[in-house]
Homo-oligomer: A and B are copies of this chain.
Amino acid sequence: MKNEINIGLLGFGVVGSGVATILHKHQEDLIHKLGVPVKIKKILVKDATKKRDTELSEDIFTINADEVIEDPTIDLIVEVIGGTTEAKQSIERALRAGKGVVTANKDVMAQFGHELLNLADENKCDLFYEASVGGGIPLIRTLEDGLASDRIWALTGIVNGTTNFILTKMKHEKKSYEEALIEATELGFAEADPSADVDGIDAARKMAILASLAFSTVVRLEDVFVRGMKDIREGDLELAEQFGFTVKMAGSAKKDDDGIEISVEPVFIQNSHPLASVNNEFNAVYVYGDTVGETMFYGPGAGSLPTATSVTGDIVAACRNLLLGVNGKRLHAPRHFCTVKKDTQIFGRYFHRISVKDEVGVLTKLASIYSEHGASLATVIQREGDRHGGVDLIMITHHISRQQHLDIMNEMRNTPEVNGVISYYRVEGGNK
């Protein structure tokens, strides 16, 4: 049995330094839990001579990746560089060198997760990636272990803190999208280029990772239907409120005998649903299981310390496996081959807001478009004139296919009575 475990850290940004702080601060707890000390032996950085506010000795830092990955005394590599190319290569090299890997890298895991997990299996190494989804929320472990005996058939998740922060500020403080984005950037919740967040790509990556695990299959990023925040029109949030909904950027994944469907888009969530109350930068994933019913996991979706906590949780798990000699025994390899459903096979209720000219017969015209496409309506409301001199028609459909919905939207755009201004939302909640 080893009498200590040595860690090589790739990257020393906010997450990396957070990991070092936690390992240092909780040293005694860790020795109690594992029986041996866990030490950081080498840290790969871009500039080894830079002044750092850390208790670590200077000679621990190196600019040479080989000194970390090739060091035979290092048992475990923790990858917190971010990005894809270098990170992926480093993970591959570490696994080939027989070292366990802990990563917080959602880009790499969403794009190359399946191949890297296979490589880990081949080399009898652990590859843990809890921090790649949901920051401090132990989601991956829960899906792997806690619900191991259940069959998960759906997941709905608020998995991007930036967009949730923006939507919360827009709803509760009546801020504009632009104002809310500036605040998010100032508080460090949004990156300088926020497009991956607001376009839904970041959430799509996380949904691909979660759905792969939940459904025990291989889900790729391109399997996710994505719509960004830019489709949210002024007034939509207030409208949602009037109808008892909250607008959220939500990921949804479902599986049935016909296949899987995965999406990230702005949706209307019923206010009584627990996800509607998930505010600010918080994340939450709502899980629908065959036997457990409904469970939800809530917490900080990002941030240096929460993410570092998840990384350290993985480090503890990997160390334990190393000490017990049971590393590299993944018991949850993908098992099912799933086809991604076509738009004609995916059903939901839709909320349509269509700005039309204030003319006689418009409502009849539009209603006929729905019936031509075989879509029945649950609610039809004509609203007071908007500031453009037109009126808003609100239609809430019964269950229709995404194809029907898209066809109707297309036809609306080509209908002369429609101003061309349309917004639409899938209605989420009450999933079955």
Binding site for B on A (CB under 8 A): 18, 22-23, 26, 29-30, 32-34, 130, 136-138, 141-142, 145-151, 216, 272, 274, 277-279, 284, 289, 291-300, 303, 305-306, 308-310, 312-313, 315-317, 320, 324, 326, 329, 331-332, 335
Whether B147 pairs with A313 at a CB distance below 8 angstroms is yes
The answer to whether B297 and A309 touch across the interface, beta carbons within 8 angstroms, is no
7 closest A-B pairs by beta carbon, nearest first, are A138-B146, A295-B299, A149-B312, A136-B292, A296-B298, A292-B309, A291-B305
Q: Are B291 and A331 in contact (CB under 8 A)?
A: no
Which one of B22, B34, B145 lies within 8 Å of A331 (CB-CB)?
B34
Q: Which residues of B contact A313 (CB under 8 A)?
A: 145-150
CA gap between A149 and B21 in the complex, in Å: 11
Query: Which chain B residues lie closer than 8 Å to A310 at the CB level?
Result: 292
User: Which B residues lie within 8 Å of A296 (CB)?
Assistant: 284, 296-299
Say yes or no: B295 contacts A22, CB within 8 Å: no
Q: Looking at the assembled complex, report how far the CB atom of A216 sits from the nearest CB atom of chain B, in whole angstroms.
A: 8
Known: A29-B151, A149-B26. A300 touches B293 (CB 8 A): yes
Residues in B neighbouring A26, C-beta threshold 8 A = 149-151
Q: List 28 A-B contacts (CB under 8 A).
A: A22-B291, A26-B149, A26-B151, A29-B149, A29-B335, A136-B289, A136-B291, A136-B292, A138-B145, A138-B146, A141-B142, A142-B146, A145-B145, A148-B313, A148-B317, A149-B315, A149-B316, A150-B309, A150-B313, A277-B277, A289-B309, A291-B306, A292-B309, A292-B310, A295-B300, A296-B299, A297-B297, A298-B298
Chain B residues within an 8 Å CB radius of A142: 138, 141-142, 146
B149 touches A141 (CB 8 A): no
On whether the beta carbons of B291 and A332 are closer than 8 Å, the reply is: no
Shortest A11–chain B CB gap in Å is 18
A213 to B71, CA, bound (A): 37
Alpha-carbon separation in the docked complex, A296 to B145 (Å): 18
A130 to B292, CA, bound (A): 13
